[in-house]
Amino acid sequence: MISGYDHFVQLAESLQWDETTLDLSADREAWPKLGETERDQVLGLLAGFVIAETAVAGNLGNYQVAAAGRDEKSMEEAFRSQARDEARHARFFDLVTAEVAGIPGATAAQRRDHLRTFVADDLVDLFEGRLPATAERLVEDHGGLTDAVGLYHMVIEGVVLLAGQHAMLEALEGLSHKLPGVHKGMELVLRDERWHIGFGSRVIQNADIGADKANELLEWGESATKSWGNLITVEAIEIAMRQHRRRLKATGIKFWSDA
């Protein structure tokens, strides 16, 4: 019988993919033919994903540590499965920036230094400041896991990254020269992200958070999406926020505004 979070672990197992088998040859040929505005937007979004996925992959270990003390063992396993996905996402986006966009650097860390100049400081702060600080606190305070999942799964994955991923798919579809390998990889990343967000929603649901916390998550979501600056549209933010609100409601939360 499947119980707790086992379902997510099994789902993750069935969805594994390998970024090195994606064919990026057509993408490499198309890249130099893109217009400057097209390249700037795609590169800005890619830079955000490299920074974000590297940061999330590196911080999930502390979530596992906090979950290890729980009765429900499958939660720790689900965080482990998720960390494997995030590491693959980080490798995929790094591969694209190196091999398609030609970002210089001998290592992923060197390329990342270069990519930070393509996004707003707020976005870098969210992933390289606020997220690690939250994850670090988990080592001392395992009870902070619900809040930390609220920031990671609900706000960062459910709003900030989802808005960026949808903006990227839209940008890719409108390009004058197509990037089919990047498009395929984006779809696979989104497929993984769906279970990550589903898993986080389940953790929040089981924690039975109150209206204050839920409203806080709504506000965090709204302010955090602004970190993309003009790389994503107001519409993309609105769509992500609508989904965020619906997701929070589905966890059984009653908002003050509903009373």
Minimum separation from the CB atom of position 149 to Fe ion (A): 12
In this complex, which beta carbon is closest to Fe ion, that of residue 54 or of residue 74? 54
CA–CA separation, 112 and 103 (whole Å): 9
Q: Which of the ranges 19-27, 113-121, 169-177, 186-194 carries the binding residues for Fe ion, by CB under 5 A?
A: 186-194
Minimum separation from the CB atom of position 191 to Fe ion (A): 11
Minimum separation from the CB atom of position 1 to Fe ion (A): 27
b/e per residue, 51-78, with b = 16+ CB within 10 A? bbbbbbbbbbebbbbbbeeeeeebbbbb
- The set of residues, in sequence order, having a beta carbon less than 8 Å from that of 117 and lying 6+ positions away, is none
CB atoms within 10 A of CB 173: 9
Q: Is 196 in the site for Fe ion (CB under 5 A)?
A: yes
In this complex, which beta carbon is closest to Fe ion, that of residue 41 or of residue 81? 81
Minimum separation from the CB atom of position 168 to Fe ion (A): 13
Q: Is 86 in the site for Fe ion (CB under 5 A)?
A: yes
In this complex, which beta carbon is closest to Fe ion, that of residue 94 or of residue 157? 157
Cβ–Cβ < 8 Å for 192, 89: yes
Binding mask 126-165 for Fe ion (x = CB under 5 A): -------------------------------x--------
The beta strand positions in 128-196, using DSSP E, are none
In this complex, which beta carbon is closest to Fe ion, that of residue 34 or of residue 224? 224
Q: Is 88 in the site for Fe ion (CB under 5 A)?
A: no
In this complex, which beta carbon is closest to Fe ion, that of residue 27 or of residue 193? 193
b/e per residue, 124-139, with b = 16+ CB within 10 A? bebbbebbeebbeebe
Q: Name the DSSP class of 120.
A: -
Q: Name the DSSP class of 157.
A: I
Q: Is 112 in the site for Fe ion (CB under 5 A)?
A: no
Q: Which residue type sits at 120?
A: A
Which candidate, 170, 178, 166, 149, places its Cα nearest to that of 248? 149
Minimum separation from the CB atom of position 150 to Fe ion (A): 15
Instruction: Work out which of 88, 89, 111, 112 binds Fe ion, going by CB under 5 A.
Output: 89
Binding site residues, Fe ion, CB under 5 A:
53, 86, 89, 157, 193, 196
